[in-house]
Structure 1
Amino acid sequence: MESDMAGTLYRKLILWGALAATVLAALLVDEGTELSVDDVVQPAVDISADRRTAGQTRQIRQTHETLPVDQLGKRKFSAKADDIFAVTSWEPKRTASTDFNPQIFQPRKEEVVRRPSAPPLQFEYLGRVVSEGKIRVFLAQADQNYVAGAGERIGTEYRIDRIREDTIELTYLPLGIRQTLTIDQGTFD
């Protein structure tokens, strides 16, 4: 235990020493020795040309620093490039034809509107119990078991409406669709 405390104390001393050295180094740095961007980055100059004077060299440096915008010229855009929010359709364009071909021109048939349907029942009937004149059934769905009677909900999606000898009538609540779970006569207690 003492070796753990000594190791922890040793690590703390090293960290505090490193922190003190960093603070001391930051205080000793001379603020006047900062370099500007011009000192660090300089444009490349061709030194091999002996004919150039100092004035020509300055002129070359100035041309590298500024961009001659007037020499770029103007860009020309087409009319299609201006409308960047144009509606695009993948349907072929329809052309007006003077010849009437009844095989080509047929009115669209009304699409069959499908009503939403409830998913198939995933319940398995396990048994029933009669208590105080009320029938309650035991149902299993995947890894969950439920005990419910008529008028009670199973989870948030189903409600038991009626329990009969051979069927259980349920309502799928999100769509209000009634479904029937059939019970094998051999398994009904």
Structure 2
Amino acid sequence: MDAAEKKRKMIIGGVLVATVIAAALVEVDDEPEFHVPEALQSGRTAQDRAKKTESNAAQLDVSKLGQRKFSPVAGELFASTTWAPKRAVIDDHEEEQQAIRMAQAARASAPPAPTAPPLQFKYAGKAIADNETWVFLSQSGENLITKIGAKINDTYRLDSVNDNAITMTYLPLNIKQTLTINNQIAGTFR
């Protein structure tokens, strides 16, 4: 240790010892004393204090306060809470009526039953060979050749052919549709 450090430690030690000695010499009172000046004590007599107490009691008439009333809107202070809406108490007749109204609303708002799209085919003709009937159709500029019982684009099935109409089944919904034959373009090939 160098001389400056020794000097600093000696000063700190001396201050510590002086603090301990000063703390031991100071008397510790358990209860502090408060001195009320005599000028204040002489101005206040027992009669003055009694008058002030009576006047304060007259100002604060507790019977006029009344009993505290709680608002029913506040509800129960420590009730459990839930996010689910409360269900109203309904008698059986009202419950039936409500169920009927809900069913009617559901039917009214239910989407319409699915239907098959309109046929996009045009009849071009038919051919009969070896007791099989082949039908020529066109759809969006594409020519199709099919026979009875065969599928068309995996969406339709050709069910029957006669001189006036072709019956097909829309396979996704299993709905039968009829394509009328115009004798203008159509022909029969044998």
Q: TM-score range by the shorter chain?
A: 0.3 to 0.5
- Which protein has the larger Cα radius of gyration, Structure 1 or Structure 2? 2
Structure whose residues are more often helix by fraction = 2
Q: TM-score normalised to the size of structure 2?
A: 0.42
